[in-house]
Amino acid sequence: MDFFRPTSLADALKLKSAHPLALCINGGTDVMVELNFDRKRPETLLDLSAVTELNQWSEAGDSIVLGAGVTYSRIQTELHAQLPGLAMASRTVGSLQIRNRGGVGGNLGSASPAGDAHPALLATGATVNVSSVRGGRSIDIHEYFIAPKKSALDPDEIIISITIPKARGGQQYSKIGTRNAMVIAVCSFGLAIDLQTRKVGTGIGSAGPTPLRAVEAEAFAASHLDWEKGAALAPELLAEFGALVSAASRPIDDIRGTAAYRRHTLSVIAARSLKWAWTSTNEFRST
Amino acid sequence: MSNSTLPTKQRDHISTPVSAGLGESVARPDGTLKVTGDFAFSSDLWAEGMLWASTLRSPHPHARIKSINIAPALKINGVSAVLTHDDVPGAKLYGLEIIDQPVLAFDTIRFHGEAIAIVAADHPETAKRAAQAIIVEYEILEPVIDPDFAISGKAPVIHTGGNITRHVPILFGPQDLTADVVVKGEYEVGMQDQAPLGPESGLAIPAEDGGIDLYLSTQWLHVDRGQLATVLGLPPEKVRLTLAGVGGAFGAREDLSMQAHVSLLAMRTGKPVKIVYSREESFFGHVHRHPGKLRYEHGVTKEGKLVYVKATIVLDGGAYASSSPAVCANAACFAVGPYEVESATINSYVAYTNNPPCGAMRGFGAVQTAFAYESQMDKIAEVLGMDPIDLRLKNAMSRNSLMPTGQPIDSAAPVAEILEKLRAMPLPPLTSTTEGFDIIELPGGASNATHGEGVRRGIGYALGVKNVGFSEGFDDYSTAKVSLQIINGEPVVEVHTAAAEVGQGLVTLKGQIARTELGVQRVVVHVSDTQVGSAGSTSASRQSYVTGGAVMTACKAVRDEILLFAMEKLGHLHPHLLHFRATYLLVDGEIRDGNGTLVSSLADLVQDRIFECTREYRHRPTTPIDPITGQGLPHTQFAFAGHRAVVDVDIETGLVKVIEMATVQDVGKALNPQAIEGQIEGGTAQGLGLAILEEIQVVNGKVKNPSFTDYLIPTVLDMPPVRSIILEYADEHAPYGLRGVGEAPTISSTPAIVSAIRAATGLALTRVPVRPEHITSTM
């Protein structure tokens, strides 16, 4: 196995172009598991952890540009005000050690339906910025996930950063896992309320072949929320929202849980998330 | 040299009071090393020029091997040897109780993950790839996966002799009783894994005498040696084992796993060979806790007095016997629990199937039955409208109660006190969901699944009982060699046993015993190996008792020899030594008479002599049980414990947060209170795992979750604080009055948690582990 560890983005892109089958590794929290289990035997590993451009975040107007290698721990501590949904999702990732190494770039690279960041990114309508020697492009998160563990990334491309709108309303991330920490999602749900555009964004994890969006639920919520005054939500409305989220999922039975359980709990955590996020939306209203 | 000529300074130095003796919470020597990552485990061993071993395992649970082609593996650069069953020089089968398991499979594959071939290569990856290059042609057979079907007489026979590995009946008291109230229940226990964090690993070094030196993790060096000698075709003295750093055991290391494989490869290649299982291989490489189906019928009076218990227990032993026969007997003996009953009719079966082999795990048959009988006790209380603690109190065993085997309990059985103390312990407050609450405290924890919605509190109680030590007439002993000599003017004791320290704290305890018995501060605990007699197994909560007893006995023998020597040397000055030697003591580096008057310092008396004694210790003998009635005296000591669990359940998601575990356990005598607390908390955690998390999922004979990603053990966020009360009712038959502590806390933990979940949800919950969908699908 060849192992490259470029120290600049330009070198990294050249190497990826020369070795399109190279597997990118940064924190290693996904890749090393795959290697340990013999599920992947890449000819080449491209270690991006020394590429400083990937390990920074910056503000760009109403958005945060999050370097692909910024760790979950940093997202939690440095970006919880601007990206509350993603910060909550980050909190649920693995253990502290994993959160100190792993980042959103790796999550997107694996494109697993269970990736904890995905529902938060879907809910906020993030954009994935990728590059190759051919140039850069931005992929709408809703077009990023193509099939199980397959993304819109081309073989010579590297994920550089993710552009995520700063919160303009309540956000939530909620996950069902059999254990109280360090657990792969049985199902998960991300929600972002945008007081300015009066839109509601959703993301469903671990309940379909790819991370999914609950389009009808989004429309239902947007049209039923009391955007003007922020009136509390009726239980029936929350239940209907939960049911619509559940209906948008396409879960299967596996060792982590049954499809029926996933559908049921998705409806529960979606309804709860809407209630919580709507309450915290009031904080945005007053400012 | 007489005492009066001793320089005062030296005597002061030597007579500094000996500390870290029995009864103190002596810190374990490996504690800091393990926390900082500096402890050398068996997986850290290294030898010059060593090779690495890998195993090829069957992907099928049941198949006939048509051919094995090792040529492609041998062609790989760096491969030194590829061995199959043809290369086993001695016996091709081994086993703890029944010799039925192939060292390497031949003819038939009986479970998913069975070892077929082994490889030695210059790099672990090369070895792994070479193993994968071996071509095995299989004729796939239908696996027998249901133990009920396996023993029905209609299933294909897995081993000659039939699929019933053992049937233990117990017929106690009159067999024709009727009762006011009859409560029936059927319970199921899933397959738990011991999940020791240290994977199976070891290093084999071929010796010049044609023998082999092994450094590895195990629970019983001598029984490994006996089996290895047979398999390797060597006399036992040429198989020398030394215990390496063990990362937990819990029963998983009682059977051979990699021992024979790594030895065969070392002998074939003439080089040191090391093996370290991956976590995945570890799940295939050791036996698990028996899953079981338990059908119960309790007859009780309207007042809540047990009249009869009928139980049929079917345990799934999997493809090979391992310690199934003993587990089956234990399940039968402890089928009623710590309760008095007039009549018991127990039938315990263990079946051969094509599921993974099951054997020893902490609790050993008593765990499965405790879930069933404690569930029944709760159900009876509900039917009678009684408080579940009052019901238990009404039937609680005490000293002189009879076990269903007819065996009287001839030491303390403070069952009622355990219950009363559990009931009296303060309860934790309700989890706050007001301003500033932490989601970590709620069901789902870090996952942010609830902010209090759907959360219901439940409280449950359970009791457990289990034997300490080996049973049914087994000659259960340990050996200790203890020496005392003077080094640099200071007395030093060396303690040498073959007992496996697997994390339980025996190394610390051996030192405590020697310090206390011989009054010497400096104790060197020799590494455990086969250069001294057998210590028996580190299982059945027995090492403090049996090896502790052996160390105590050997220390007393050394003391006697020193006093005898003192009599010879100093008898003219201390005439009482002749007749009252037994009243003399070794204290703080000195010999003193019964009044505490100094006779001599050890340094002065012993000088350059070495006093050394090797002694065996046996607990009181037990007897086999009658094969028809199950009556006998199969056990030597009983351990009792109880738990109270407080849980929060989110009834809409089925997620559970255990808020607190409270426990009371009688330990006879707390020789190292901190170590006992550690055992109690660890055992409680393992019971919690079985209650709500841990299960090897086997579908059609295939293991579906051989990883810590999907086999979930409790994290620090799942394991709550433990409130424990340690009772000390000395057992007059045991060394220092101690009672084995290792297993009891695992037994009652599981049913207490499930009872609490029932209290929170109102559901019956007859299977463990309770999965979230068991709660939501029926709410």
B549 and B483 housed in the same domain: yes
Count the alpha carbons within 13 Å of B149 in the hemisphere toward its beta carbon: 10
- Collect all residues with Cβ–Cβ distance below 8 Å to B535 and sequence separation of at least 6: B220, B221, B222, B478, B479, B480, B497, B498, B499, B500, B528, B543, B546, B547, B550
pLDDT of residue A36: 86
Least CB-CB distance to A180: which of B454, B653, B715?
Answer: B715
- Among B223-237, B318-332, B472-486, B571-585, name the one with the lowest average pLDDT: B571-585
Rounded-to-integer distance, Cα B733 and Cα A8, Å: 73
Contact flag B448-A177 (C-beta cutoff 8 Å) = no
Interchain contact A70–B (C-beta under 8 A):
no
Other Cβ atoms within 10 Å of B508 Cβ, number:
23
**Are the CB atoms for B667 and B738 separated by under 8 Å?**
yes
Touching check for A256 and chain B: CB below 8 Å? yes
Which helix or strand (DSSP H or E) is residue A139 part of? Answer: strand A135-140
CB within 8 Å of chain B, chain A residues 17-56? 33, 36-38
Partners of B693 on chain A (C-beta within 8 Å) are: 178-179
Q: Give the tens place of pLDDT for each residue, B580-630.
A: 888 899 999 999 998 889 999 999 999 999 999 999 999 999 999 999 999
Pair (B587, B723) in one structural domain: no
* pLDDT for residue B2: 39
Q: Which domain holds residue A100?
A: 55-287
CATH number at residue B514: 3.30.365.10
Record: contact A37-B712, CB cut-off 8 A:
no
Give me B654's structure tokens: 């089925």
The label of the residue with tokens 């996952």 reads B447
* pLDDT score at B8: 40
Q: What secondary structure letter does DSSP report for A212?
A: B
What is the DSSP-derived secondary structure letter of residue A142? G
Does B380 map to a domain? no
Confidence of residue B435 (pLDDT cuts 50, 70, 90): confident
- For residue range B244-303, what is the model confidence (pLDDT) as tens digits? 999 999 999 999 999 999 999 999 999 999 999 999 999 999 999 999 999 999 999 999
Residue B659 lies in a domain: yes
Q: Cα A179 from chain centroid?
A: 21
In a domain, B627, yes or no: no
Contact status, residue B589 vs residue B524, Cβ threshold 8 Å: no
Report the candidate in B412, B425, B418 with the shortest Cα–Cα distance to residue B459: B425
**C-beta atoms of A174 and B448 within 8 A:** yes
> Is residue A243 within 8 Å of A235, Cβ to Cβ?
no
Closest Cβ–Cβ partner in A183, A258, A268 for B653? A268
List the CATH number of the domain containing A167. 3.30.465.10
For B216, phi then psi, to 5°, come to: -160, 175
Is residue B411 situated within a structural domain?
A: yes
CA angle, residues B766, B772, B777, in degrees to nearest 5? 75
pLDDT at res. B1: 36
Check whether residue B119 and residue B133 sit in a common domain: yes
The tens digit of pLDDT for each residue in B101-122 reads: 999 999 999 999 999 999 999 9
Question: In DSSP terms, which residues pair with B217 in a beta bridge?
Answer: none
- The span from the CA of A203 to the CA of A175, in Å, is 11
Domain match, B463 and B481 both: no
pLDDT for the residue numbered B582: 86
- pLDDT at residue number A193: 98
- CA–CA separation, A145 vs A152, rounded Å? 6
How far is Cα A215 from Cα A193, in angstroms, rounded to an integer?
Answer: 14
Whether B165 is covered by a domain: the verdict is no
Q: Residue ranges of chain A with pLDDT lower than 50? A: none
Query: Same domain for B90 and B28?
Result: no
B580 beta partners = none
pLDDT digits (tens, 9 = 90+) for B659-686: 999 999 999 999 999 999 999 999 999 9
Task: Supply the pLDDT for residue B579.
Answer: 87
* pLDDT surpasses 60 at B57: yes
A199 in a structural domain: yes
Q: Is the domain of B708 the same as that of B656?
A: yes
Please name the residue of chain B whose CA is at the shortest distance from the CA of residue A257.
B773
End-to-end alpha carbon distance in chain B: 85
pLDDT at res. B11? 42
Q: How does the average pLDDT of chain B come out, rounded?
A: 96
C-alpha–C-alpha distance, residues A251 and A195, integer Å: 31
- Contact B480/B496 with Cβ under 8 angstroms? yes
Domain of B118, in residue numbers: 42-141+199-246+253-285
**Do B226 and B89 share a structural domain?**
yes
Confidence check: pLDDT of B9 > 60: no
Give dist(CA B266, CA B53) in Å, integer.
9
Q: B751 preceded by cis ω (within 30°)?
A: no
Beta-carbon contacts of B14 under 8 Å, excluding residues fewer than 6 positions away, are B489, B490, B491, B588, B589, B590, B601, B602, B603
Provide the H-helix boundaries in A83-182: 84-91, 96-99, 104-110, 117-124
Residues contacting A58, CB < 8 A, separation 6+: A64, A65
The pLDDT of residue B575:
87
Q: Is a pLDDT exceeding 70 seen at residue B324?
A: yes
Q: Give the pLDDT confidence score for residue B545 in this predicted structure.
A: 98
Residues B33 and B49 in one domain: no
What distance in Å separates the CA atoms of residue B198 and residue B161, rounded to the nearest whole number? Answer: 36
Provide the pLDDT confidence category of residue B185 given band limits of 50, 70 and 90.
very high
| Domain end position, chosen among B583, B618, B653 | B618
Q: Which residues lie below 8 Å from residue B751, measured CB to CB, with a gap of 6+?
A: B370, B371, B374, B375, B460, B462, B464, B643, B691
The residues pairing with B396 across neighbouring beta strands, listed in sequence order, are B339
**With 50 as the cut, is the pLDDT of residue B13 above it?**
no
In a domain, A7, yes or no: no
Residue with tokens 């509601």: A200
Same domain membership, residue B605 and residue B560: yes
pLDDT at position B778 is: 66
The model's pLDDT over B730-772, given as tens digits with 9 standing for 90+, comes to 999 999 999 999 999 999 999 999 999 999 999 999 999 999 9
Inform me whether the C-beta atom of residue A168 falls under 8 Å from chain B C-beta atoms: no
Write out pLDDT tens, residues B696-724.
999 999 999 999 999 999 999 999 999 99
Does residue B191 lie in a domain region? no
Using only the alpha carbons of chain A, give its radius of gyration.
19
| Mean pLDDT within B527-532 | 98
State the DSSP string of B231-295: HHT--GGGEEEEE------TTTTSS-SSHHHHHHHHHHHSS-EEEE--HHHHHHHS-BPPPEEEE
pLDDT at residue A37, rounded to an integer:
84
pLDDT of res. B83? 98
- DSSP classification of residue B571: T
Tokens read off for B372: 């069933």
Q: Please, are residues B688 and B750 in contact by the beta-carbon 8 Å criterion?
A: yes
For B12, counting Cβ atoms within 10 Å of its Cβ (0-12 exposed, 13-18 middle, 19+ buried), the class is: exposed
Neighbouring C-alpha atoms within 13 Å toward the C-beta of B133: 17
Which amino acid belongs to residue B582?
A
Domain count across chain B: 3
Distance (Å, whole) CA B761 – CA B779: 8
As for the ipTM of the complex, it is 0.96
Q: Is B582 helix (H, G, I), strand (E, B) or coil?
A: helix
Instruction: Provide the shortest C-alpha distance from residue B426 to chain A (in Å).
Output: 25
- Is the pLDDT at B10 greater than 60? The verdict is no
* Band of residue B201 on the pLDDT scale cut at 50, 70, 90: very high
Nearest-CA residue of chain B relative to A181? B446
What are the chain A neighbours of B443 within 8 Å (beta carbons)? 180
Q: What is the pLDDT of residue B499?
A: 98
- Residue of chain A nearest B448, judged by CA positions: A174
pLDDT of residue A111: 96
Domain boundary among B563, B591, B618: B618
Maximum alpha-carbon separation in chain A = 61
Q: Do B15 and B79 fall into the same domain?
A: no
Taking only the tens place, the pLDDT of each residue in B327-347 is 999 999 999 999 999 999 999
Domain co-membership, B638 together with B706: yes
What pLDDT does residue A285 have?
Answer: 84
pLDDT of residue B779: 57
- Kindly provide the b/e burial profile for residues B546-567, where b requires at least 16 CB atoms within 10 angstroms of the residue's own CB: bbbbbbbbbbebbbeebbeebb
Q: What is the DSSP string of A61-103?
A: TTEEEEETT-BHHHHHHHSTTT-HHHHHHHHTSS-HHHHTT-B
- Among B618, B646, B679, the domain boundary falls at B618
Q: How many domains does chain A have?
A: 1
In the stretch 77-136 of chain A, residues with CB closer than 8 A to chain B read 88, 91-92, 95
- Percent of chain B's residues with pLDDT above 70: 98
Confidence of residue B55 (pLDDT cuts 50, 70, 90): very high
Q: Is residue B653 part of a domain?
A: yes
Instruction: Identify the contact set of chain B against chain A, taking CB-CB distances under 8 A.
Output: 128, 278, 280, 440, 443-451, 453-454, 652-655, 657, 692-693, 697, 704-705, 707, 709-710, 712, 714-718, 771-773, 776-777
Q: How high is the pLDDT of residue B7?
A: 39
